[in-house]
A and B are shown apart, each in its own frame.
Chain A
Amino acid sequence: NAGVTQTPKFQVLKTGQSMTLQCAQDMNHEYMSWYRQDPGMGLRLIHYSVGAGITDQGEVPNGYNVSRSTTEDFPLRLLSAAPSQTSVYFCASSPGGRTGKPQHFGDGTRLSIL
């Protein structure tokens, strides 16, 4: 049981490039989300999904796109990378609803934009 798997673990991009951060979970969780972690700011929600085909914006969605075509996968796309998007990105999943079940986090993607 792998849990939440994020790839790549590290990435360096140039300003203006695009890329996709991958996230996959094998727990059949309905709810998936993307966060970015910056020093002194905690984790901020970028986008989330309550099920396949359903996505919504979080606190800081600008510059990012998501889609949820399957229960397992929830990729995050950077459309045109900017230095302000240098961060550590975490994907999380949970059974969804008000079950009280915790969110399971991946180990993150460390992204640097030059």
Chain B
Amino acid sequence: QQQVKQSPQSLIVQKGGISIINCAYENTAFDYFPWYQQFPGKGPALLIAIRPDVSEKKEGRFTISFNKSAKQFSLHIMDSQPGDSATYFCAARGGGGKLIFGQGTELSVKP
């Protein structure tokens, strides 16, 4: 049972373009939605996070859009750079502080 579904599985974007990754969740009890960035050979690192009472959060070039009624949230990377090439995971926090992760999106930004 996949409680958090992430798409696309892979994404290729030109430098300067917008990268968009989408996630959908099922459990309305989730109370915290982080996005993690992972480079090869490293552990995931928190990129940006949002709570369900907020519809949008922006930090630099990274924006989370949250649609509570549709149970969907997305990550937008503006002005994508080759250094943004990484695997991105959305997640949702449930009971006991447990994080449920999406399947991951491998982003490649071409120069």
Contacts and interface: CB of A to CB of B under 8 A. Distances in A.
Interface in A80-107: 90, 92, 94, 96-98, 100, 102-103, 105-107
Interface in A1-23: 4
A96 B98 CA distance: 10
Contacts of A31: 97
Interface residues of A, number: 28
A35 B102 CA distance: 13
B85 interface: no
Contacts of A105: 36, 43-45
Interface in B28-48: 31-32, 34, 36, 41-46
A108 B43 CA distance: 6
A66 interface: no
B44 A44 contact: no
B47 to A, nearest CB: 9
Contact of A100 (B42, B45, B51, B89): B51
Interface in B1-34: 4, 6, 9, 31-32, 34
B41 A96 contact: no
B97 A97 contact: yes
A24 interface: no
B78 interface: no
B41 A102 contact: no
Given A90-B43, A107-B42, A102 B97 contact: no
Interface of A: 4, 31, 33, 35, 40-45, 48, 50, 56, 58-59, 90, 92, 94, 96-98, 100, 102-103, 105-108
Interface of B: 4, 6, 9, 31-32, 34, 36, 41-46, 49, 51, 89, 93, 96-104
Given A4-B43, A106-B43, 15 more contacts: A33-B99, A40-B104, A42-B6, A43-B89, A43-B101, A48-B96, A56-B96, A59-B100, A96-B97, A98-B31, A103-B46, A105-B43, A105-B45, A108-B41, A108-B42
30 contacts: A4-B43, A33-B98, A40-B103, A40-B104, A41-B103, A42-B4, A42-B6, A42-B104, A43-B44, A43-B89, A43-B99, A43-B101, A44-B101, A45-B98, A48-B96, A48-B97, A58-B98, A98-B31, A100-B32, A100-B49, A100-B51, A102-B34, A102-B49, A103-B46, A105-B36, A105-B43, A105-B45, A108-B41, A108-B42, A108-B43
